[in-house]
Amino acid sequence: MSRSVGVFVRGLVRGTGELLVTAGALVLLFAVYLVVWSDVRTAAAQSDLRADFAAQTAAVDRDATGTPAKIEPIPGQGIAEMTIPRLGEDWRWVVVEGVVDADIAKGPGHFPGTAQPGQLGNFAVAGHRATHGEPFAYLDAVVPGDHIVVRTAAGWSVYTVTLTQIVPPTRTDLIDPVPGQPDGVVNQALITLVTCHPRWGSSERLIVTGLLSESRSATQGPPTIEGY
């Protein structure tokens, strides 16, 4: 009697221990997936997007003034290349069209329906602050006066950051053509970058807003900006 109880208890303890070890291994594997594998996948996607973007920029039909034919953005495809000198020389991301999970897994995503780069209205972009290459991990380091350079087939748009703020996730009005004014007159070209705050959390959003300060066509060549 007491012997079989001992066997039962030993089996229970061993089984529980093995389950806990297995659970620990699963959680560890998931952490590796998030912190390492998602970055690897995003880097591969960016590499493809960069090649596609370069080919598209080179091959696009242009009229006599060098203005490219309008390209309808396709979800998940690259629409522009973004540079923020404040975030380092290597910080260079192809922005994709769309903000569903599959789009922003490849890189910063353009909110469909918001303005195109350089146009009047609000060019709104969301990006990961953690995992998936974490393009906006250090977006909190960007301060007013910093530059955001957006390159398209048409040329370069340089935005100067005017405001950074932390807001509740429900502030969808901030990506309106005139942020906070649904009926406002659209007479400015803005950029709005959206990411989660705090990093690794999602209770709030970090918003960086900029105003178009320089526009250069493809024939004019790149802007002269420190760090670009």
Which CB, 66 or 201, lies closer to other proteins? 201
Q: Which of 9, 18, 48, 74 binds other proteins (CB under 8 A)?
A: 18
Asked whether position 191 contacts other proteins by CB under 8 A, the answer is no
Give catalytic status of residue 147 as yes or no: no
Which CB, 169 or 221, lies closer to other proteins? 169
Which CB, 29 or 143, lies closer to other proteins? 29
Binding mask 87-116 for other proteins (x = CB under 8 A): ------------x-x--x------x-----
Which CB, 65 or 170, lies closer to other proteins? 170
Considering the complex, what minimum distance in angstroms separates the CB of residue 198 from other proteins? 10
The residues with which 63 forms a beta bridge, in sequence order, are none
Binding mask 120-159 for other proteins (x = CB under 8 A): ------xxxxxxx---x-----------------------
Catalytic residue among 110, 132, 197, 205: 205
Asked whether position 170 contacts other proteins by CB under 8 A, the answer is yes
> Which residues are known to be catalytic?
128, 196, 205
